[in-house]
A and B are shown apart, each in its own frame.
Chain A
């Protein structure tokens, strides 16, 4: 007998599981023979029990009702379940659409933008990206690049009273126009100096060769500068007490700026070779607020012997840059024979400094220096230290100290310079007041203002400066020796 029940459901079961096994639990001799027949015709006992249990669960409460009712109720249940499934499926699909995740089957539906709107947005986007990356649409026309009426807080103290840099590019005068943004109040007096063609001076410590002639520079000597080492005429310098004496610390940085600017200007006036050398040293020097302007001094030397001589003194007071020692030595040695006995080695050292400076100047300047030096033989010791310690920014200025005995070529100029420096030191230790008087007597004393500022430094350094050889390492040695003296 075939169990038609099983036979009927085989097809449906096949959909679910490809194979099913009926495993009889209890096989013994008694039913072994009939087992195959029973399997094919009847559910196994355990299967029958499970079947009954499930039927009971399904037809809970319906057993008592007539069959048709049972059927109806079961159908209703099926329908409800079907409806719930459908609504759930719908919700899932909607959510997927919103998140654009994509349906399990089919193509994801992407919402599209209105074309006009998209074009507008594209245009805006291009504008924004251009503005951020290259500054398009952000540049103000030149006429609007004036000083703003009211600066925001963070720019008030930065820009101060003027915004020269905010000028449009066509204004090539740039830095050195009157509205220079290098806004130091002390520099204001120097602004006339800056009117040298600024384009040549901007941003570079290396001055362009050629450029302005000395006469151009002289044309700016109309307004007196507040610093004694200005390239203005010596008389003008002396008439105004150097403010360096008063505010040494405060003005160091400003003077450094001035020095650098003035040095640049001076560089322009020098021959190209010297300018190159000067450029090297300019970069290397550490401007420590000595307030000297070697450029000024150089200029003075060229134009007016005595006055320039004074400026040279100031240059000597520039900081000594040991690294430049051997580079800057220009082969001139200080002649020791000419040095008056009253003058110590310091004077000689000063002279060597001056030598290097003077070597680049005309002979007339040298002779002028010499004459000036002759008048002040024994007063330069305090100033010597000042000049010695400073590291000149320019190669000329670099104080390269040599042993006096080794320098038979010591020029007069060096003596002159040293003498002048001594004069300054003697009279101006700690103060610049005697300058006016001295200047009248000795034109070469114009640079004393600078020297006095460094009087203390100079004195301490003077000893160190004695007889330094051209090589840098020696300088250190001598320094120690000098200090021990």
Chain B
């Protein structure tokens, strides 16, 4: 399971966000370049199509593949009160033949996207990951070199934290308290719920980017 929230930030403020995250997380940023291929099962595999995501990490010289299955979100009154989305996720490393395997099983390509940005992996009460990336689409199949952003002026910010059925409440509160620190720049919400941009983002970004100001009296 994982707790996840998403938000958007204007591209012009991404640098300021990076500075803020650097200060909050205390770790170095890691570049992120991921080719995400989303496969859907064919009709032979059941009435309800299932979706599987293959994630190829292109950052290293040797690409690594991960299989990711995103399940349904938790429902209920308790889930609605949480400010984060809790959903089942199954992830596993895989060899480069995983794409072939899923094609052989009958899965078909549904869509693919390329995420380019950076990520912070840190510990703050619980293990958390913040990714800031621009989501790019490919005009031709698998053509990652010519990917263009879906929304040029806006990037996606995602905060995820792994959780289990016993710990998800603590993880959810840790994630939401971390998100409060990002409030001057952006608001984060459950995936599917839009937030808009934060009005103070410009000022906050300006102050983050400045040298700190302050003259001695």
Partners in one complex: yes
B-contacting residues of A (Cβ < 8 Å)? 98-100, 110-113, 118, 121-122, 124-129, 131-133, 135, 137-140, 144-155, 157-160, 163-169, 172, 174-175, 180-183, 199-200, 202-204
- Among A145, A154, A200, point to the contact of B141 (Cβ < 8 A): A145
* Pair A131/B110 contact, Cβ less than 8 Å: no
* Pair A181/B100 contact, Cβ less than 8 Å: yes
B8: which A residues are within 8 A, CB to CB? 124-125, 128-129
* Pair B150/A157 contact, Cβ less than 8 Å: no
Task: Show 15 residue pairs from A and B whose CB-CB distance is below 8 angstroms, ordered by the A residue.
Answer: A100-B184, A110-B200, A113-B197, A129-B156, A131-B137, A133-B6, A137-B150, A138-B150, A140-B111, A144-B141, A147-B141, A154-B63, A157-B96, A158-B100, A174-B42
What is the distance, in angstroms, from A171's C-beta to the closest C-beta of chain B? 8
**Residue count of chain B within 8 Å CB distance of chain A:** 57
Given A100-B184, A148-B140, A203-B106, A139 contacting B199 (CB threshold 8 A): no
B145: which A residues are within 8 A, CB to CB? 152
* Pair B184/A150 contact, Cβ less than 8 Å: no
A167: which B residues are within 8 A, CB to CB? 108-109
**16 further interface pairs, Cβ-Cβ under 8 Å (given A127-B151, A144-B140):** A111-B200, A118-B197, A121-B196, A129-B8, A131-B135, A138-B150, A139-B110, A153-B63, A154-B56, A163-B141, A167-B109, A175-B103, A182-B100, A199-B43, A203-B104, A204-B44
* Pair B199/A111 contact, Cβ less than 8 Å: yes
* Pair A121/B207 contact, Cβ less than 8 Å: no
* Pair B44/A138 contact, Cβ less than 8 Å: no
CA distance A258 to B45 in the complex (A): 20
B27-64 CB contact bits vs A (8 Å, 1 = yes)?
00000000100111111110000000000101000010
Closest to A200 in B: B44
Answer yes or no: B112 CB below 8 A from chain A CBs: yes
* Pair B43/A172 contact, Cβ less than 8 Å: yes
* Pair B154/A125 contact, Cβ less than 8 Å: yes
What is the distance, in angstroms, from A97's C-beta to the closest C-beta of chain B? 9
B120: which A residues are within 8 A, CB to CB? none
- Among A100, A126, A148, A154, point to the contact of B143 (Cβ < 8 A): A148
B191: which A residues are within 8 A, CB to CB? 129, 132-133
B142: which A residues are within 8 A, CB to CB? 148, 151-152, 155, 159, 163, 166
Answer yes or no: B209 CB below 8 A from chain A CBs: no
Interface residues in B127-160 by Cβ distance below 8 A to A read 135, 137, 140-145, 150-151, 153-154, 156
Given A99-B207, A129-B6, A121 contacting B154 (CB threshold 8 A): yes
What is the distance, in angstroms, from B57's C-beta to the closest C-beta of chain A? 9
Given A99-B203, A172-B42, A124 contacting B151 (CB threshold 8 A): yes
Given A132-B156, A166-B141, A174-B44, A118 contacting B196 (CB threshold 8 A): yes
* Pair B184/A202 contact, Cβ less than 8 Å: no
With a 10 A CB-CB cut-off, give which of A111, A164, A174 has the most chain B CB atoms: A174
* Pair A138/B111 contact, Cβ less than 8 Å: yes
Chain B at the A interface: mostly helix, strand, loop or mixed?
A: mixed
Closest to A100 in B: B200
With a 10 A CB-CB cut-off, give which of B43, B96, B100 has the most chain A CB atoms: B100
CA distance A451 to B107 in the complex (A): 35
CA distance A368 to B113 in the complex (A): 59
* Pair A159/B200 contact, Cβ less than 8 Å: no
* Pair B207/A126 contact, Cβ less than 8 Å: no
CA distance A37 to B137 in the complex (A): 95
* Pair B156/A128 contact, Cβ less than 8 Å: yes
CA distance A107 to B156 in the complex (A): 32
Given A159-B100, A168-B108, A202-B42, A132 contacting B113 (CB threshold 8 A): yes
* Pair A135/B109 contact, Cβ less than 8 Å: no
CA distance A200 to B42 in the complex (A): 11
* Pair A111/B203 contact, Cβ less than 8 Å: yes
What is the distance, in angstroms, from A14's C-beta to the closest C-beta of chain B? 34
Closest to B39 in A: A165
- Among B35, B103, B107, B110, point to the contact of A135 (Cβ < 8 A): B110
Answer yes or no: B102 CB below 8 A from chain A CBs: yes
Answer yes or no: B24 CB below 8 A from chain A CBs: no
Closest to A204 in B: B44
B195: which A residues are within 8 A, CB to CB? 125
- Among A131, A152, A181, point to the contact of B144 (Cβ < 8 A): A152
* Pair A98/B103 contact, Cβ less than 8 Å: no
A112: which B residues are within 8 A, CB to CB? 199
What is the distance, in angstroms, from A448's C-beta to the closest C-beta of chain B? 30
* Pair B196/A154 contact, Cβ less than 8 Å: no
Closest to A98 in B: B203
- Among B10, B35, B112, point to the contact of A138 (Cβ < 8 A): B112
